[in-house]
Every structure is written in structure tokens, then in C-alpha cells.
Amino acid sequence: MRVLIADGLAKEGSALLKQNSKIELLAFDAIDRMELKEKLPQIDILIVRSRTQVDKDLLETARNLKLVLRAGIGLDNVDVPACTDQGVVVMNAPTGNIVTTAEHTLAMIFAVSRHIPQADAALRSGKWEKKKFQGNELRGKTLGLLGLGNIGRTVADRALGLGMRVIAHDPYVNPEAAAKQKIHLVGFDELLTTADYVSIHVPLIKSTEHLINEVALRKMKKGAYLINCARGGIVDEKALLMVLNEKHLAGAALDVFETEPLSPDSHLFKCQDLVMTPHLGASTDEAQVQVSLEVAEQIALYVGEGVLKNTINVPNVTLEQLNTLKPYVQLCEKLGAFATQAGPQNVKKLRVHYEGHISELNKELLTLSVLKGFLSPILSTTVNFVNARKLLKERGIRVEESFEQECADYTSLIELTVTGDETFSCTGTLFGKEEARIIKVDHFNIDAIAMGHLLYTKNIDQPGVIGSMGTLLGTHGVNIARMHLGREPKKAEAIALINIDSEPSVTALEALRKTKGMISVRAIKI
């Protein structure tokens, strides 16, 4: 695969990518956008940091792009919905800069508490102002963390070591799990009114934009400090300046801003109680090396094993999961492809039902495999795990899922029901470890190998039909590899799933449809 690094990468990670025999690498420290657009049509994987904007305009030229990998945790510069629309997997590298960002947060806490930047500037100007820059100890103070993810927990661990009390607000964290780390979970308002230091560790999404607004800032303790090393836009900067100038807060520290780079004429520069750094949270030698190694590992897993790690718009799959799921993924895709070719028109709903051991596995990936299989035979656009649900939704097709842990006759089975002009269902399972079998079509029990070219026929259950089919196919040069039959005596109907060696001609299909007793004939490729 052709991999392009757009914004530079530490030499350690680049070296690993160069050594990978399955990769052709193009590396740039800061590629011009026009040059990038010229090269993208031949690129499979694009690696960016925070500089390159991956938007709709850029993606229009990326005909072969399969993966965008952000070398870092933030995705502000990657249009994830646009990537999803085009079927491009989006990954980030979230763990390489955890410690570095946590340490920068603590550095900012120390800086605002002891007035380090202001004292340094005064001393350099010839002033010795010890009393003016008298600060505060951290020991015994309360640190309030908005968000308790990897970085938040790391900050908490270091803060506890400094003798601070740590509280946190995160609706997605279990209180017992937090308590084990000696962190007390509280509500949003309680955190604001209780903490001496409020440190932000949440992503910038619609619900967190201006989360720290004037109302929130005025709820904070008088004399408290605000720290933001997460994302610009979470803090309303105008409101922050207002409460700082009113001396409601003792100070604040920002590493990130609503607009970056910060404008030289920004009013933030005029505030003496504000410490600022130019988005340095992840900027250490060690973090850049760790992120580059993380990126190289993720790409090696992707191109070598098909493993998805740290994905944003598709489920993650570990190597162990992939080994377990791979035959089921193939079965699901075959069931989807079979149903769209054998089932009804004007489809309104798909229902996927899992029974047995498979109900305990990654059902999201399996359902996506069904959807991918269902859409691929009928669409000219690329269908993959990323865009399958969206493409189905655009066509007004609902998806339902259900499961049962018990399965009477098999270790696992998957049933796909399609509702349209009529209702059609097909059920599959694995024989042995990998062989995909179709074991039921509608109310007909059958045992067919789901592979290659198939003929799916329905006929009146009467003598001579099967013999006529075999003779007719032979006459048209169609070789039968296997034939699987199902009967419904009460309705006097039968079906056949016939594995054939090659695609049947239109003439052969028309002749089959005219066979006495034949109800329907479908040519299927799975």
C-alpha cells in the first residue's frame, strides 16, 4: 500500500514504516496542499498531524484512500463524517502523548500557582519583586477534573502524589472504579463550586463547545484557577477574560485556543493573570517518538493482518478477535449478498438475529458485514464497514438486531430477514471452523455451501423437474459442482441451491425459467 506522511513523523516510526515490505512510503515534513491533492489519487493511507486539513475538498481527489491516521489524539482537522461518506477509515494515536499532556497540565498548574512566567519576565526586566509574586502550595488543595479518560487519570495520579485531593466529573465513569484510584466523582456544578483548580480533559464536540461559559466560570470558587490543555473552544475566552479582569478567578492557564495560531492582537495577551503556551501539550521528544511508533504499529496491523486499532468511525478489532470473527464475518457477508440477490424488491427493513456462541462476540462488526454483503452487489460505489450503515439509511432501509445465547441445534447461527414487497429469510452457520453453509431459506431446510456462483430455484415439487434442470444446464455448458435440495411437502414446493463452475448465460437462465414446474430462477454470486 502507498502511504503518505503529510506533516512529518519522528524518525523512529518512519524507519519502521520504511522497513515494512508491504508499504511504499512517501514522507513530507509539511507538504503543500496543492501537491498533496495531486498525489492523493494514488495514495491508500494518509498520515497527518494537526496541520493538514482533511476535508471534503481534499477527499474529492482521494479515489483510492482507505485510511486517514491522525498522529495524535485530536481530530479537529479531520472531517470524520466526510471520511465516513467516502468509506475511509479514520484512526488516531491516542496513547503516545498521555503522559506528556498530563505533565504539561501539571506544569501549568505550578506556573499559575507560583506566577512563574510573570516572575521570570519581571526579573529579566531588572525587578526583584518577591512579595508581588507570592504563590500557593498545591498540597491540600482540591483538583477538579472535567473528564476522567487516560489523560485525566494520569493527571489525577500525579496530583495525588503531590498531596492534592482529586474530584472529577465524568458521566461515563463508574464511581467504584474512580474510588479505587482515590478519585471522588461529583456532579458538574459541585465540581465547579468545590475545586481550587478546574482542569479540562474532555474532547471538543457539540455538547462541550463553550462548556466553560460565563455561567460556569461564575460558579467556580472565588480565587480558583482554570486549566485547559484539552481543546480550544471548550472555554469561552471572552467570558474568561471578563471573570479574570474582575478578579473572580485568581488565574488561568491555556495551552489551546478557540482560534489557532493565536492572533497577535488577541486581548488574551493583555491579561496578567493568564499563562499561555502555544499548544505544547504533546510537544516533547518522547511523545513524538511514542506517537510515531504507535502509528507504525497500527499501520502494520492494518496492512498485514487487517486489524483495526484506535478507529473512530468503525469498530476496533484486535488480532485475537479477528482470528475468531473472520469466518463469521465471511459468513455474514455471504448471507447479505445472497439475500439481496434472492430476496424481494423495495426493501424497507433488515433484521439480523444471532443465536449461540456468536451472540457473545462483536455483533456490530458482524452486522456491518451483513450490510456490506447486502449492498455490494447492487451499488457501483464502494461499500465497506465504514459507510454501510449510512448507505442503507440513505435508501430508507432500517436495520434491527437481536440475539439469543441459546441455540438448539448448532454452536452458532445467523438469520437474516429482509422485508420488502414480501418477506424473505436465510440462515447460515459454520461447518467445522470456516466453511460457510446456508441451512435454511424461508421455511425450507437445506444444507448448501455458500461459495461462488449459485443458482437459486423454486419449483413445484413434482417428478422430472430436477432431471430437466440437470439436462438443460448440461446442454448450455453449465457444469454442476453440487446440488442442494429443500422440500416443503405441505405446499408441494421445493427449492434448489446449485453450485456451478461459472456464471450462467442469459439463454440458459431463460430456458430454466421455461422448464415445466419451475416457479422462479435466480443467478447468484457470493
Neighbours of 41 (CB within 10 A): 11
Helix 98-114, helix 150-161: angle, nearest 10:
50
**Residues near 2 by beta carbon (within 8 Å), at least 6 away in sequence:** 23, 24, 26, 42, 43, 44, 45, 64
Residue 361 grid coordinates:
462476540
pLDDT class of 94 with cuts at 50, 70, 90: confident
What whole-number percentage of the chain has pLDDT above 70?
Answer: 99
Q: Where are the domains of the chain?
A: 2-94+287-305, 98-276, 316-442, 452-526
Q: What percent of the chain has pLDDT over 90?
A: 76
What is the C-alpha to C-alpha distance for residues 149 and 114, in angstroms, rounded to an integer?
Answer: 27
CA angle 194, 200, 202 (to 5 degrees): 125
pLDDT at position 319, please?
62
Crossing angle (nearest 10°) for helices 285-305 and 11-19: 20
Q: Which residues contact 393 (CB under 8 A, 6 or more apart)?
A: none
Residue 202 has pLDDT above 70, yes or no: yes
Q: Where are the beta strands (DSSP E) in 140-210?
A: 142-146, 165-169, 184-185, 197-200
pLDDT of residue 316: 76
The CATH architecture to which 2-94+287-305 belongs is 3-Layer(aba) Sandwich (3.40)
pLDDT of amino acid 206: 82
**Among 213, 205, 206, 226, residue whose Cα is nearest residue 275:** 226
Q: Please, what's the b/e burial string for 92-128 (b: 16 or more CB within 10 A of its CB; e: otherwise)?
A: bbbebbbbbbbbbbbbbbebbbbbbbbbeeeeeeeee
Q: Does domain 98-276 have CATH number 3.40.50.720?
A: yes
pLDDT at position 387 is 84
Taking the alpha carbons at both ends of the chain, their separation in whole angstroms is 26
Q: Do residues 48 and 71 touch, judged by C-beta distance below 8 A?
A: yes
- pLDDT single digits (tens) 297-337: 999 999 998 888 888 888 877 767 777 788 998 999 999 99
In this structure, of 76-90, 144-158, 269-283, 495-509, the range with the lowest mean pLDDT score is 76-90
The Cα–Cα gap between 350 and 348 comes to 7
Per-residue pLDDT tens digits for 127-161: 999 999 999 999 999 999 999 988 999 999 999 99
Q: Which CATH class is domain 316-442?
A: alpha beta
pLDDT confidence bin for 78, thresholds 50/70/90: very high
Whether pTM exceeds 0.75: no
Residues 6+ away with beta carbon under 8 Å from 333: 369, 370, 372, 373
- pLDDT bucket at 496, cuts 50 / 70 / 90: very high
The superfamily in CATH containing domain 452-526 is ACT domain (3.30.70.260)
Angle between helices 319-342 and 285-305 (to 10 degrees): 50
What is the set of active-site residues?
A: 231, 260, 279
pLDDT for position 119: 96
C-alpha–C-alpha distance, residues 334 and 437, integer Å: 9
Band of pLDDT at residue 483, cut at 50, 70 and 90 = very high
Q: How confident is the model at residue 45 (pLDDT cuts 50, 70, 90)?
A: very high
- Side-chain half-sphere CA neighbours of 223 within 13 A: 4
Residue holding cell 415445466? 516
Mean pLDDT estimate for the chain: 92
Q: Which residues pair with 275 in a beta bridge?
A: 253
Residue type, 260: E
Positive or negative, the Cα torsion across 267, 273, 279, 285? positive
- Between CA 380 and CA 391 the distance in angstroms is 12
Q: Would 2-94+287-305 and 98-276 be classified into the same CATH topology?
A: yes
Is residue 405 within a helix (H) or strand (E), and if so which, with residue range? none
Residues 6+ apart with CB under 8 A from 144: 167, 168, 169, 186, 191, 192, 194, 195, 196, 197, 198, 199
Please report the pLDDT score of residue 66 as a whole number: 93
Three cell numbers at 116?
512563574
Contact 287, 97 (CB under 8 A): yes
8 Å CB contact between 221 and 247: no
Per DSSP bridges, beta strands 45-48 and 67-70 are parallel
Alpha helices in 268-362 (DSSP H): 285-305, 319-342
pLDDT at 40: 96
